[in-house]
Amino acid sequence: MIRWRSFCGHLSTITKHRHMVIRHCWKAGIFWQGLFHDLSKYSPTEFHQGVRYYQNGKRSPNEAERESLGYSLAWMHHKGRNRHHFEYWNDYNPMTKQVEPVEMPMRYVAEMFCDRVAASKIYKKDAYDQTCPLTYFVNSNARKQGRLHKNTEKELMELLEILAEQGENAAFQELRKRLKNKL
């Protein structure tokens, strides 16, 4: 049975996050891309699990779903439909006969940056500062295990370092410059 508080809380959290990403995408110069950000979170597959495993807006429901089931159905659905997640960019390499990371196009790296900054702000609330997204990424298993293409990791890391050291205005200015050079 769905609890009303979890329903409203999850809807509010994902909507606040999405709107913040849209604002960040505007700053990055990819407004239209931002408008389509994370629409799959409103699909029945993702939304139902998000409500069921709602964490009071303090962490992702996907983590709780993983702890309960050993996997996250919502995450598997989400990462397969949203190109701003590095997990989307894995493919079979016929030379090595392994699934390997593929370099992400810069416009999706930009959206990933916007997404990470917004997620840090939403989950950290008043404890957020401009170093939070970098700290989270540096400590992530994905980075430690080499699950991103080296060029994608380098681009994201540089942007997060600019954010941490120089602030949002400098980071978004650099992001717009990189997007312009890659298009």
What are the tens digits of pLDDT across the range 20-65? 999 999 999 999 999 999 999 999 999 999 999 999 888 899 999 9
What are the tens digits of pLDDT across the range 62-109? 999 999 999 999 999 999 999 999 999 999 999 999 999 999 999 999
Confidence (pLDDT) at 183: 63
Confidence (pLDDT) at 71: 97
Mean pLDDT of 176-182: 93
Distances (CA, A) of 55 to 42, 61, 62, 110, 173: 17, 6, 9, 27, 34
Q: Is the pLDDT of residue 2 over 80?
A: no
Confidence (pLDDT) at 182: 80
Distances (CA, A) of 61 to 19, 72, 82, 132: 19, 9, 17, 20
The better pLDDT of the pair 183, 131 is held by 131
Please, which pLDDT band fits residue 146 given cuts at 50, 70 and 90?
A: confident
The better pLDDT of the pair 3, 152 is held by 152
Q: DSSP labels for 64-88?
A: HHHHHHSS-HHHHHHHTT-TTSGGG
Confidence (pLDDT) at 1: 55
Confidence (pLDDT) at 59: 86
Percent of the chain's residues with pLDDT above 70: 98
Confidence (pLDDT) at 143: 82
Percent of the chain's residues with pLDDT above 90: 90
What are the tens digits of pLDDT across the range 84-93? 999 999 999 9
Mean pLDDT estimate for the chain: 94
